[in-house]
């Protein structure tokens, strides 16, 4: 079986290469501040670690529903109502295991093939629009001036 032709157009997830290189430098004794994968450089806080251990002991180790645990989605809905006074139904909330999955889903829903999106460069989203189902075109911008120029706007 041959791979699909579109596979050639999918860019590698360079952040993992950056992480590997940073770990190499760290192993050589270099002082590295990790900012490449969005992962904190401190241990998981005790309340979170305890809750995770409790969930494992209770057998909560299977897949969740595709949009996340219903009780968590309800809690998030309640949080938005109490904190911001905004009614966001739990049915409109999706919980993912990380930003990459959420962003890929969002762009798959919003980006039409051939549509154009302004994205910061450098930035986390670089490459996500061309991959997967979005097939949209990124317009890399680095400054506010460049963004406003691309939008044919001016500021005073």
pLDDT at 102 (0 to 100): 83
Q: Tell me the domain boundaries of the chain.
A: 12-61, 63-93, 96-156
Count of helices and strands (H, E) across the chain = 5, 2
Write out the H or E segment, with its range, that includes residue 81. Answer: helix 70-84
Long-range contacts of 135-139 (CB under 8 A, 24+ apart): 135/111, 136/107, 136/111, 136/112
Residue length, the chain?
A: 156
What are the backbone angles phi and psi of residue 95, rounded to the nearest 5°? -115, 125
Q: What whole-number distance in Å separates Cα of residue 140 and Cα of residue 138?
A: 6
Q: What whole-number distance in Å separates Cα of residue 127 and Cα of residue 117?
A: 11
Q: Which two tokens stand for residue 62?
A: 């299977």
48-78 tens-digit pLDDT? 999 999 999 999 999 888 899 999 999 999 9
111-147 tens-digit pLDDT? 887 788 877 766 666 666 655 555 667 777 666 666 6
What percentage of the chain carries pLDDT values higher than 70?
76
Q: Which residues is 117 bridged to in the sheet? A: 138
What is the residue whose two structure tokens read 């189902």? 133
CB neighbour list of residue 33: distance below 8 Å, 6 or more residues apart: 41
Q: Please, what is the average pLDDT of the chain?
A: 81
What are the backbone angles phi and psi of residue 61, rounded to the nearest 5°? -125, 5
């Amino acid at each position: 079986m041959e791979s699909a032709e579109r596979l050639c157009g999918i860019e590698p997830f360079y952040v993992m290469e950056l992480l590997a290189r940073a770990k190499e430098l760290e192993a050589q004794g270099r002082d590295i501040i990790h900012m490449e994968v969005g992962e904190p450089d401190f241990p998981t806080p005790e309340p979170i670690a305890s809750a995770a251990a409790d969930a494992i002991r209770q057998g909560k180790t299977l897949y969740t529903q595709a949009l996340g645990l219903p009780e968590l989605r309800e809690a998030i809905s309640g949080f938005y109502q109490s904190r911001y006074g905004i009614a966001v139904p739990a049915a409109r909330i999706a919980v993912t295991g990380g930003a990459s999955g959420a962003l890929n889903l969002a762009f798959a829903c919003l980006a039409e093939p051939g549509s154009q999106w302004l994205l910061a460069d450098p930035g986390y989203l670089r490459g996500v629009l061309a991959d997967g189902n979005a097939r949209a075109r990124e317009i890399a911008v680095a400054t506010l001036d460049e963004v406003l120029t691309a939008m044919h706007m001016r500021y005073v």
